[in-house]
Amino acid sequence: MSSSVLCVGIGNEFRGDDAVGLIAARMLQARQLPGLRVIEQSGEGAALMAAWGGAAAVFLVDAVSSGAAPGTIYRLDAGFSPIPAEFFHYSTHAFSVAEAVEMARALDELPPRLVIYGIEGANFDLGISLSPAVEAVLPALVEQMAAEILYS
């Protein structure tokens, strides 16, 4: 594993399933994977670009709202194709995760590896509990991410 591997959990703790990225990041942190740095962010794009600067491999984890079944796990490799802006629907930031990734691509500043894990949420209302379908996939998600990070 490269010495500069970064995991960024993204979300809002107080907006239902939007917290799933933060919770997944904390679970990864608890595993103490060698060389992995874990941080949390709100999803504001410019801050995100600043945070991943210099990292060799970056794993983002965030809730998504694509209309799929709640708990669906997506894995997108930003090196391969553009990230659809509407994917991260639940951000009220004008310059958000998808924009940050595409801005970095336009400026030729994408990290050498950038992988995005998205978890389909069901409920983004004010509140601090995850939907059962989202809660249920967390262990498998963290397992999948840990495995990929260990072999990165």
- Contacting residues toward another protein, per CB under 8 A: 14, 41-42, 44-47, 49-50, 92-95, 99, 102-103, 105-108, 126
Q: CA-to-CA distance for 77 and 135, rounded, in angstroms?
A: 24
Instruction: From 91, 34, 37, select the one nearest 62 (Cα to Cα).
Output: 91
Instruction: From 144, 149, 151, select the one nearest 7 (Cα to Cα).
Output: 149
> By C-beta, is 102 or 135 nearer to another protein?
102
CB of 115 to another protein, least distance (A): 20
Q: CA-to-CA distance for 38 and 28, rounded, in angstroms?
A: 8
Residue 67 main-chain phi, psi, to 5 deg:
95, 0
CB of 47 to another protein, least distance (A): 6
> By C-beta, is 47 or 68 nearer to another protein?
47
CB of 79 to another protein, least distance (A): 17
> By C-beta, is 32 or 92 nearer to another protein?
92
> By C-beta, is 69 or 107 nearer to another protein?
107
CB of 40 to another protein, least distance (A): 9
Q: CA-to-CA distance for 147 and 136, rounded, in angstroms?
A: 19
